[in-house]
Amino acid sequence: MNNTYPKLFLTTDNNTNFVVIKKTCSTNRKEKIMEKFEELIQSEKPVLVDFFATWCGPCKAMHPVLEELKGQIGEAARIVKIDVDQHEELAAKYRIQAVPTLLYSRKGKLFGAIPE
């Protein structure tokens, strides 16, 4: 997958072609990840965001479904996986209250279960 985001923050899983937000500890890096995530969802290309947890059974069950979807849509859209335990700030910002939660973004407009 070709993207303009620094590999320090966003990587592509070679097995699935999902965009994965890397774990980070420093406040500065967390802020940069928030900025890069915002840029990603503002892009022209549609983005499906999967907020998940590694301990979550339904999240694990969703993984092959997302792999199949990525195989069908190819480069027409991105799938981004965000571990809510590693990125609590993103989960809080988007009011994620349960996992898995899927949000869809197109040109910065989010669709999904985001309470007002």
* Pairing mode of beta strands 101-106, 109-111: antiparallel
| Annotated active-site residue in 59, 66, 80, 90 | 59
Q: Does the annotation mark 56 as catalytic? A: yes
- 22: nearest Cα among 43, 3, 38, 36: 36
Phi-psi region of 91 (alpha: psi -120 to 50; beta: other; left: phi over 0): alpha
Among residues 56, 63, 85, 106, which one is catalytic? 56
Rounded CA-CA distance 59/65 in Å is: 10
Q: Sign of torsion, CA 80 77 75 34?
A: negative
Q: Do strands 19-21 and 10-12 pair parallel, antiparallel, or not at all (unpaired)?
A: antiparallel
Q: Could you give the residue numbers annotated as active site?
A: 56, 59
